[in-house]
Structure 1
Amino acid sequence: MRGSSSFLRDVPVLLVAVVWGSSFLAVQQVAEPGTVVAMLVLRFGLVLPVLGLAAWRGLRGMGRAEWLGGAVLGLVLGGVFLLETYGAVHTSATNAGLIISLTMVFTPLAESALARTPLPRAFLAAAGLAVIGVALLTGGGGLKTPSLGDLLVLGAAVVRTVHVLTMARLRSIRDTDSLALTWVQLATATVVFAVVAPFAGPLPWTVAASYGPAQWAWLLHLALLCTLFAFFVQMWAVRTTSPSRVSLLLGTEPLWAAVFGIALAGNHLGPLALLGGALVLVATEWGRRTAVAPARDAVGDEARGAARAAVAEEETEPTSASAAV
C-alpha cells in the first residue's frame, strides 16, 4: 500500500516533466520569429488572472521591498522566456530540450565560483561530459558551429542560472508567499513583453485573431498545463513527498523533449548527435547527483519561471515545509 501511494504521488510530477518536455514542440506550433513576443503576452495573459486569484491574499501582504524584489526577478525571468522561446523557433525541439537542461550543471558551477568552494571532481567530470555532448548534438555529429537557435537556448540556460542565484540571494523575498512572488514575476515579464510587442512584430490581438483551433489548443496547452498545472502540482508535491524525489522526476524533462521532438516533430539525429544527446542526459543527471548543495534549475518554460524555483528552494532548505521562492 505504501508503494502504491508513493507511485500515485509520483504520477502528477512525472506528468509535469512530460508536459514541459512537450513545451518546445508547442512553442513551434504557435510562434514564428516575428510573433514570439506577442505569443508570450497571450500565453501569460491567460495565466495571470487565475494565478492572481489564488495569490490575492499573499499579494495584499507584500511590502514595497518584496514587490521590488519580485519585479527584479521578473525582469530576469523575462529574459529567460525571450531567449528560450526565440531559440525554440530557430532550432529543433530535441536540441532545445536537451540544451536547456544544462542549467543543472551551470548553477552549481556558478555557486561554487561565487562562494569560492571547490566542487567534487565527479561533478567537474560531469560538466565536461555535458560540454562534449552539446558539441556533438549541436554540430550535427560534426565540428560545426551551433545554430542561432542552439546559442539562444544556451543563453537561456545561463540566464536561468542567474535567476536561481539572484532568487537565493535576495533577502527581501525570503519570507514572501511563493504564489504571490510567482505572480509578481510573471506579471513583470508580461508587462515587458506587452511594451515591446508593438516594436517586435504583430500586436498580440492580431496574432490571436490569426490562430486557428489547433494553434489555440497548443496555446492553451502552454498556459494551462505547462504553467498553471505544473506550478500547482509542484506546490503540492514538495509538501507530500521529498524535494529530491520531485527533482529527480522533473529531471526527465529533456528526455521527454527528445521523445516529442523525434516522434512528433520529425527531428532527425545522426549517430553522433544521438550520442551527444545521450551524453547530455547522463551528464546532467550525474551532475545533479554529485554537486554539493545543488540549487537545481527552478525556472522554466511553461511555469518554469517560478514553479521550479519553489522546488529549488525546498531542496536547499529541506527542513522548511513552507520555504518561499
Structure 2
Amino acid sequence: MRTSSSFVRDVPVLLVAVVWGSSFLAVQRVAEPGTVVAMLVLRFALMLPVLGAFAWPALRRMGRREWLGGALLGLVLSGIFLLETYGAVHTSATNAGLIISLTMVFTPLAESALGRTSLPRAFLAAAGLSVLGIALLTGGGGLKAPSLGDLLMLGAALVRTVHVLTMSRIPAIRGTDSLAATWVQLATATAVFALVAPLAGPAPWTVAASYGPSQWAWLLHLTLLCTLFAFFVQMWAVRTTSPSRVSLLLGTEPLWAAVFGITLAGDHLGPPALFGAVLVLIGTEWGRRTSAPAAQRAVDPESEGDREPEAGPVPTPTPEPDLEPDLESSPASAPASA
C-alpha cells in the first residue's frame, strides 16, 4: 500500500518533467525568430488572470518591499524566457533541453564560489563530464562552433543560475507566499515582453490572428501544462513528498526533451553527438546526486525552513525549471522552463 501511495504521488511530478521536456518542441511549433516576443506576450497574458485569481488573497497582503523584490526577480526571469525561447527556435529541441540542464551544474558551482566552500570531487568530475558532453553535442564531435541557438541556451542556463541565487538572497521575498511571488515575477516579465514587442516583430494580436488550431493547441499546452499545471503540481508535491524526490523526478526533464526531439521533431544525432548527449544526462544527474548531500550539510539548522529547495530550470522551476534550479526546485521559480 505504501509503494502504491508513493507511485500515485510520483506520477504527477513525473508528468511535469515530461511536459517540460516537450516545451522546447512546443516553442518551435508556435514561434519563429520574428514572433518570439509576441508569442511570449500571448502565452503569459492567457495565464496571468488564472494564476492571479488564486494568488489574489496573498497579493493583497504583500508589502512594497515584497512587490519590488518580486519585480526584480521578474526582470531576471524575462531574460531567461527570452534567451530560452530565442534559443529554442535557433537550435534543435534535443540540444535545447540538454544544454539548459547545465543549470543543475552551474548553480552548485556558483554557490560554492560565492560561499567560498568546496564541492565534492565527484561533483567536479560530473561537471567536467557535462561540459565535455555539451562540446560533443554541439560540435558534432569535431571542431564546429556551437550554433547561435546553442549559445543562447547556454546563456539561459547561466541566467537561470543567477535567478536562483538572487531569489535566495532577497530577504524581502523570503517569507512571501510562493504563489503571489510567482505571479509578480511573471507579471513583470510579461510587462517587459509587452514593451519590447513593438520593436521585435509583429504585434501579439497579429500573431494570434495568424495561428491555426494546431498553433493554438501548442500555445495552450505551454500555458496550461508547462506553466500552470507544473506550478500547482510542485506546490502540492513539496507538501506531500520530499524535496529531494521531487528534484530527482524533475531532473528527468532533459531526457524527455531528447525523446521528444528525436521522435517528434526529427532531430538526428550522429554517434559523437549521441555520445555527448548521454554524457550530459549522466553528468547532470551525477552532479545532482553528489551536490545534494553537501548542500544539505551546509544548511544552518535554525534557518533551514527559509532555504529554497533546487532548477528547471525550473527553475524550478527553473523554473525554471532549474530551477532551474532546473526546479529550480523552488515553486516560485518553476515557470522558468521554456
TM-score bucket of the superposed structures, by smaller chain: over 0.9
Partner residue, 2:227: 227
Partner residue, 1:293: 295
1:24 aligns with 2:38: no
The within-5 A match list for 1:68-87 is: 68-87=68-87
Structure 1: gaps spanning 5 or more residues: 317-322
CA shift for structure 1 position 297: 1.3
1:52 aligns with 2:52: yes
- Supply the distance in 1 between the matched residues of 2:158 and 2:26 (Cα, whole angstroms): 22
What one-letter code is carried by the residue in structure 2 that aligns with 1:67? W
Partner residue, 1:121: 121
Partner residue, 2:151: 151
SS of structure 2 residue aligned to 1:268: coil
The within-5 A match list for 1:1-325 is: 1-291=1-291, 292-293=294-295, 296-297=310-311, 299-300=313-314, 304-305=318-319
What one-letter code is carried by the residue in structure 2 that aligns with 1:53? A
SS of structure 2 residue aligned to 1:89: helix
CA shift for structure 1 position 143: 1.8
Q: Deviations over 1:174-224 (max 9, x none)?
A: 010000000000000000000000000000000000000000000000000
Structure 2: gaps spanning 5 or more residues: 297-308, 334-338
Q: Do the aligned partners of 1:175 and 1:324 also contact (CA within 8 Å) in 2?
A: no
Q: Do the aligned partners of 1:238 and 1:314 also contact (CA within 8 Å) in 2?
A: no
Q: Deviations over 1:294-321 (max 9, x none)?
A: 76315438964467669899979xxxxx
Q: Do the aligned partners of 1:227 and 1:302 also contact (CA within 8 Å) in 2?
A: no
- Supply the distance in 1 between the matched residues of 2:80 and 2:332 (Cα, whole angstroms): 21
- Supply the distance in 1 between the matched residues of 2:140 and 2:251 (Cα, whole angstroms): 24
Q: Are residues 250 and 306 of structure 1, via their aligned partners in 2, closer, same or farther at CA, if it must alter by over 3 Å?
A: closer
Q: Are residues 306 and 20 of structure 1, via their aligned partners in 2, closer, same or farther at CA, if it must alter by over 3 Å?
A: closer
Q: Are residues 80 and 169 of structure 1, via their aligned partners in 2, closer, same or farther at CA, if it must alter by over 3 Å?
A: same
CA RMSD of aligned residues (A): 2.0
Q: Are residues 261 and 97 of structure 1, via their aligned partners in 2, closer, same or farther at CA, if it must alter by over 3 Å?
A: same
Q: Do the aligned partners of 1:99 and 1:153 also contact (CA within 8 Å) in 2?
A: yes
CA shift for structure 1 position 144: 1.0
Q: How many residues align?
A: 319
Q: Are residues 310 and 259 of structure 1, via their aligned partners in 2, closer, same or farther at CA, if it must alter by over 3 Å?
A: closer
CA shift for structure 1 position 141: 2.2
Q: Do the aligned partners of 1:73 and 1:163 also contact (CA within 8 Å) in 2?
A: yes
- Supply the distance in 1 between the matched residues of 2:295 and 2:99 (Cα, whole angstroms): 22
Q: Are residues 144 and 311 of structure 1, via their aligned partners in 2, closer, same or farther at CA, if it must alter by over 3 Å?
A: closer
Partner residue, 1:319: none
Identity %: 79
Q: Are residues 35 and 218 of structure 1, via their aligned partners in 2, closer, same or farther at CA, if it must alter by over 3 Å?
A: same
- Supply the distance in 1 between the matched residues of 2:260 and 2:327 (Cα, whole angstroms): 29
- Supply the distance in 2 between the matched residues of 1:21 and 1:301 (Cα, whole angstroms): 13
RCO higher in structure (CA 8 A, sep ≥6)? 1
- Supply the distance in 2 between the matched residues of 1:298 and 1:280 (Cα, whole angstroms): 15
- Supply the distance in 1 between the matched residues of 2:316 and 2:38 (Cα, whole angstroms): 16
Q: Do the aligned partners of 1:84 and 1:153 also contact (CA within 8 Å) in 2?
A: yes
Q: Are residues 65 and 313 of structure 1, via their aligned partners in 2, closer, same or farther at CA, if it must alter by over 3 Å?
A: farther
Q: TM-score, normalised by structure 1?
A: 0.94
Q: Are residues 298 and 181 of structure 1, via their aligned partners in 2, closer, same or farther at CA, if it must alter by over 3 Å?
A: farther
Partner residue, 2:303: none
- Supply the distance in 2 between the matched residues of 1:9 and 1:293 (Cα, whole angstroms): 25
What one-letter code is carried by the residue in structure 1 that aligns with 2:16? V
Q: Do the aligned partners of 1:100 and 1:154 also contact (CA within 8 Å) in 2?
A: yes
Q: Do the aligned partners of 1:178 and 1:310 also contact (CA within 8 Å) in 2?
A: no
Which has the higher mean CA deviation after the structures are superposed, 137-146 or 305-314? 305-314
Q: Are residues 302 and 43 of structure 1, via their aligned partners in 2, closer, same or farther at CA, if it must alter by over 3 Å?
A: farther
What one-letter code is carried by the residue in structure 2 that aligns with 1:293? A
Q: Deviations over 1:265-308 (max 9, x none)?
A: 00000011000000000000000011121763154389644676
